[in-house]
Amino acid sequence: MADTPTARREVATLAGGCFWCLEAVFEQLQGVDRVESGYAGGSTANPSYKSVCSGTTGHAEVVQVTFDPAKVSYEQLLNVFWEMHDPTTLNRQGPDIGTQYRSAIFFHSPEQEAIARNSKAEVEASGKFKRPIVTEITPASTFYRAEEYHQKYLEKRGLSHCHI
């Protein structure tokens, strides 16, 4: 039996408020293989949830989405991202306030950066939001996986959705 080539996978790292909410939505998408909650964008190595919540680490709560680009494109993931949070609120999503809840796209390649910047420009031009979009687009930094109790948080508690 001949070996079949390994399917190509890409990673998207996105911040849009509480990672529990993001995780629950992205896990439902066809073409998404894995979603992990974690932290990125800060200066502290191996941060804990408690340290990130203190606002001193510089990290945002993020999800790292591993996906099959033959089934779901990076652009499609970003379309979902724009729909599931308010990208016009600085360091806040709903009742969650602090820099760890900022809106951010952490790109992993020049192609992802171009797609992210184009996607943001399209959303801005659409007039969907009355205020300017404050989502930062920045190179991906080290991803730190959140503590196990944060993984599949809503699913483990029998909840089908987050406040969004």
Active site residues: 18
Nearest to 153, CA basis, from 28, 47, 19, 11? 19
Q: Rounded to the nearest 5 degrees, what angle is found at the Cα of 81, between the Cα atoms of 80 and 83?
A: 65
- Asked if residues 61 and 85 have their Cβ atoms less than 8 Å apart, the reply is no
Q: Is 8 helix (H, G, I), strand (E, B) or coil?
A: coil
Task: Give Cα 11 distance to the centre of its chain.
Answer: 10
Element (H, E) at 33: strand 32-40
Residue listed under structure tokens 């089934």 = 71
What is the number of residues in the chain? 164
- Asked if residues 77 and 26 have their Cβ atoms less than 8 Å apart, the reply is yes
